[in-house]
Structures are given as C-alpha cells and as structure tokens.
C-alpha cells in the first residue's frame, strides 16, 4: 500500500536515528563535562600550586608585588599623672600611622626529597604620610614597657629586697610608669633610647631581654626594617598538593617551646606548641566550607585558625570569606584547648585564667608582662573593658578575615589585626608600684591589609573563573538540548510503533 504522507514517514524513520545520535552525544557530553573538563582545570590549578624555582608562582612568592599596608594605632595615655597614682588609665587611640611593606624571600635551601624550601623573609617598611594622620615626629604618652620589664624580671629573678632597691634606682633616675612625649618613629622602628641601668641589668645576666630591646633601645618593631627573619621551612606542594605552603619548621624547630604544660607526661602532645598551617599567604587548592584554615603567626608566638563565614564576590571573583572564631582567645573555662595558653605569672601575682579575650605572652617575651588580644579587647571579658577608659570594640573595625578563591586557594585579601597590651599590677615589696591599679593597658594595635592587585585578580578572573563560568553556562544548555533530543527521538519511535501496529492500541483499549 502506497504511503499517502511521505513526510510523516520520513519523520517516523528519523526517530531511531535521533535517539542513537542524542544518546551518543549525551554520553560524550557527560564524560566531557564531568570528567575531561574538571580534570583539565584540576591539572592547571595543580600546576600553579607548586613552589618550583623558575615558575611564575615562585617569582610571585619570592618577590611579592602585591601592595601591603601596615597601620599602627597608638594608645595615648591622657591622664598620666593620675594613672601613676592609682587612677584608672584613660587612653585615646591615635592613628593610623601607615607604612607600606616590600616583602622578599631569601631562599636558603631546597630539599627535593623532603619537598621543602627553607627561607628567611625580609620586609622593608616605607612611611606613607599621605595615608597617615600625622608625621613620624608626633609625640605620645605610653605605658613604660622597659620599666615594667625591669620590675617583672627583677622581681622574678632576685630577692624582693634587692629587686626593690634596683627599681628605686630607676625611680630616682626619673623613670615613670608612663613614658612622656615619645616620638612615633622611635617608638615603632628606630628605638627609644634607654638609660644605662637597663644595659647593666642585661650585661650582668640579671635579666634576658626580648627582641624589642636592641642596643640600649626599645621599639615595637625594633631592628625589623630590612632585617631577615628567623628561618622558615615549608612544604613546596610538589609531591602532595594538600601540604602546599604548610610550615614544617620555624627557627629550626618543628614545635614551639613557649607553652609547654608541665603537668602533662613528657611524651604527651603539647597542643599550644604546635606549628599549624602556613604563614597566611599560601593555602592548598580545592578548599571546602567545612575546612578550617590554620595560620602560624610568629609575632604572637602561636598558631590560630579561621573558619568559613560566608560566600563573597571580590570584584568579579567568587570567593570564601573566613573569620576568626570566638574560641581562639576564649579562656580555658570555655575552650579547654586554650588552658596551655594561660600563663600563670606566679609569685603571688594576679592571674586571670577565668577570663577570655586576652592571652599573656610572658613565656615568649622573656617574661616581660605583655599580652595579646583583638583590638579594643574585642570578644574579651567585660573586666578588660572596665579596667581602662577609652575602649570601643567594633567587629567591623577590629576583626580578622581572609578572602580566598576556593578552587585555587589563592589569597585575595587579608585583614590581620592584633593588639599588644602591657599588664600592670602591684608587686609585693616593690614600693615604686604600691599605688598601681591592676589593669591590662593597651599599647597599640596594628592592621596589616593585603588586597590583591588588579592584574593578579584579572589573571584569576580571566582564566579560572571565566572557564568555570563558561562551563557552568554551557553544561545545562548542551545537556538540556541533548536530553530533549533523546526524549523527542524516543517519543517519535513510540509514535512510529503505534502507527505501524494500530491494532495493538485498539486491543489494549478493549482489554
């Protein structure tokens, strides 16, 4: 019988061809989108997350071109006379005083078998008057850290009567609890000249002074401008990308020794001494939201960790924002892991292991009464805010954060903020401190801000992000089209069968 509708026949005949073609293309597309393309992107990312001499990654790491700003905010004591006689300290934040950093790395050695590189970092600081509130010659009044150091170290080292005699010598030499009219430049980098008595204490071996004291001077960043750091040894990530940038040793040691808990067995793990993570500039690729980021900060003698906070978009690049959890500086009554950070000053001095937000750095600062916290005692116990007038904690202004592109692990933005304070308290038997009111008095807080430059950001955006976006757009379109083609071909095939055997449909309806 002749087909009265040849077009209909050709359409029906096309059914199997469409099904076969669509199924084949769909299988190929699924393989390409879910196996080939991810594998290619993964290979390209892994190529960039290795520290190999001669590569672009190596060049960016050893010679940092991204602008880094460090801002100092000094706490000026506005009631020096009254505070020295027992009144509550009143401080006023002065700043920012801003320097731009130029960072380079001095590579010491490369161990391919161990997959590590050992280096020292050199930072040059250049004052930026255009970003600062004043000049480096501005003057402030600040707690006399050298005097506190002499008192604390003498008190712990010598008989109380001998320590009292020495401190009275300082008092007769016009040393006061508050240093008046201190130059910003000297206070931060160049060094405030100290009296000869400090040198005598150190030269006689009575006390050992920390890095802030150099050649008879005291400064927050004394001799750090252009001076090589202690040695770091980190994994290169060649053999295992998950270890990329992680610190193996600092100053030739795999662990710190500042926070040893003597109550634990000799072979027990010392949590607080662990050197965890990277220096904050390198992270492994393929990060997930439930994966914390560990960072070792040698400035505060400990490791800290960041947790996922939210998804953000930094100038066209989708990224993850990580913040510091409250548990980081929580007291041991809230976070048992922090018990080893609670240094007891001993010798009948006040302790505050039941408080949060402040950690003593005595053990890593040769015993001088210095403490670390977030600026303005953010997240700290109420007592620290009440001991000093002038604290105005603000999450937006004083928190820490990292913004990281999760696929590559590229750091897009760092906001690092930390406050250094001095702890004042009466030392039994030291007459010069008999009127001192107990308080943790802030000295300064510092912000280091790193914001990826537009060229580096465009490299991430134009290569990785653009590729992922194109794949993300094409995948549903191609798979959707092929899926519809497969469905259409199947329907045509079904229709063809029904047209060829109409009695089957008729008998099915009778049944």
From CA 178, how far away is CA 143, in angstroms rounded? 4
DSSP state of 187: I
Return per-residue pLDDT of the chain as tens, 511 residues: 455 555 444 544 455 665 566 566 556 655 555 555 566 666 677 777 789 998 888 999 999 988 899 999 999 999 999 998 889 999 999 989 999 999 999 999 999 999 999 999 999 999 999 999 999 999 999 998 988 887 777 777 766 777 776 776 666 666 788 999 999 999 999 988 877 666 666 555 555 677 787 788 889 898 899 999 999 999 999 999 999 999 999 999 999 988 887 666 666 667 889 999 999 999 998 899 999 999 999 989 999 999 999 999 988 888 999 999 998 888 888 888 888 888 776 655 666 777 888 988 888 887 788 999 999 999 999 999 999 999 999 999 999 999 999 988 889 999 999 999 999 887 777 777 777 888 899 999 999 999 988 888 777 666 665 555 555 555 565 555 545 555 655 655 555 555 555 544 545 454 5
Q: DSSP readout, 19-69?
A: HHHHHHHHHHHHHIIIIIHHHHHHHHHHHHSS--TTSHHHHHHHB--S-EE
Give the Cβ contact number of residue 21 at 10 Å.
15
Give the Cβ contact number of residue 467 at 10 Å.
14
User: Is the CB of residue 376 less than 8 Å from the CB of residue 390?
Assistant: no
Of 52, 55, 60, 54, residue with least CA distance to 110: 52
Say what the pTM is: 0.83
Measured between alpha carbons, how far is residue 314 from residues 68, 99, 308, 356, 465 in Å?
17, 24, 16, 33, 12
Q: Name every residue whose Cβ is closer than 8 Å to that of residue 155 and which is 6 or more positions away in sequence.
A: 163, 347, 427, 430
Helix/strand number for the chain, H first, E second: 13, 19
The pair of structure tokens assigned to 510 is 């009778």
Q: DSSP readout, 62-121?
A: HB--S-EEEEEEEEEES-HHHHHTTPPEEEEEEEEEEEEEEEEEEEEEEETTTTEEEEEE
195 CA to centre of own chain: 37
Helix axes 160-172, 196-203, angle to 10 degrees: 150
What is the per-residue burial (b if ≥16 Cβ within 10 Å, else e) of 396-433? Answer: eebbbbbbbbbbbbbbbbbebbbbbbbbbbebebbebb
Q: Prior bond to 96 cis, omega within 30?
A: yes
Of 85, 220, 225, residue with least CA distance to 145: 220
pLDDT of residue 506: 45
440 CA to centre of own chain: 24
From CA 415, how far away is CA 398, in angstroms rounded? 9
């Amino acid at each position: 019988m002749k087909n009265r509708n040849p077009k209909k026949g050709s359409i029906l005949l096309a059914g199997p061809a469409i099904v076969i073609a669509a199924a084949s293309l769909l299988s190929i597309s699924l393989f390409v989108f879910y196996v080939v393309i991810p594998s290619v992107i993964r290979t390209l990312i892994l190529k960039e997350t290795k520290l190999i001499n001669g590569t672009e990654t190596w060049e960016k790491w050893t010679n940092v071109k991204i602008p880094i700003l460090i801002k100092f905010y000094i706490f000026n004591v506005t009631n020096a006379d009254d505070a020295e006689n027992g009144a509550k300290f009143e401080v006023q934040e002065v700043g920012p005083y801003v320097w731009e950093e130029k960072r380079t790395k001095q590579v010491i050695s490369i161990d391919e078998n161990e997959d590590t590189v050992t280096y020292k970092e050199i930072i040059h600081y250049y004052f930026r008057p255009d970003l600062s509130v004043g000049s480096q010659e501005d003057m402030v009044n600040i707690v006399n850290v050298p005097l506190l150091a002499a008192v604390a170290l003498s008190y712990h080292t010598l008989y109380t009567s001998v320590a009292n005699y020495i401190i009275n010598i300082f008092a007769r030499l016009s040393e006061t609890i508050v240093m008046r009219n201190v130059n910003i430049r000297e206070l931060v980098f160049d060094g405030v000249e100290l009296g000869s008595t400090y040198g005598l204490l150190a030269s006689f071996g009575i006390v050992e002074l920390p890095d802030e004291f150099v050649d008879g001077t005291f400064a927050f960043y004394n001799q750090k401008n252009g001076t090589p750091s202690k040695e770091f040894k980190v994994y290169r990530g060649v053999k295992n990308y998950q270890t990329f940038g992680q610190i193996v040793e600092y100053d030739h040691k795999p662990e710190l020794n500042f926070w040893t808990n003597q109550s634990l067995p000799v072979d027990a793990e010392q949590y607080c001494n662990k050197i965890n993570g990277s220096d904050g500039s390198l992270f492994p690729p393929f990060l997930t939201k439930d994966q914390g980021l560990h960072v070792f900060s040698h400035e505060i003698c400990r490791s800290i960790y960041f947790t996922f906070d939210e998804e953000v978009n930094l100038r066209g690049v989708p990224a993850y924002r990580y913040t510091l959890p409250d548990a980081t500086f929580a007291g041991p009554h809230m976070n048992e892991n922090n018990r080893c950070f609670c240094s007891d000053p001993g010798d009948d001095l006040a302790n505050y292991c039941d408080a949060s937000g402040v950690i003593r750095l005595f053990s890593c600062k040769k015993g001088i009464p210095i403490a670390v916290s977030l600026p303005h005692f953010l997240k700290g116990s109420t007592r620290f805010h009440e001991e000093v007038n002038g604290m105005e904690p603000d999450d937006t202004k004083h928190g820490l954060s990292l913004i990281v592109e999760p696929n590559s692990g590229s750091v897009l933005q760092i906001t690092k903020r930390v406050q250094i304070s001095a702890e004042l308290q009466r030392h039994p038997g030291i007459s010069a401190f008999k009127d001192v009111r107990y308080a943790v008095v802030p000295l300064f807080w510092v912000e280091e801000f790193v914001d990826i430059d537009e060229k580096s950001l465009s490299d991430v955006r134009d290569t990785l992000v653009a590729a992922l976006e194109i794949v993300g757009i094409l995948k549903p379109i191609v798979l959707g089209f092929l899926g519809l083609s497969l469905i259409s071909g199947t329907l045509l095939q079904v229709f063809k069968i029904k047209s060829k055997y109409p009695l089957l449909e008729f008998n099915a309806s009778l049944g």
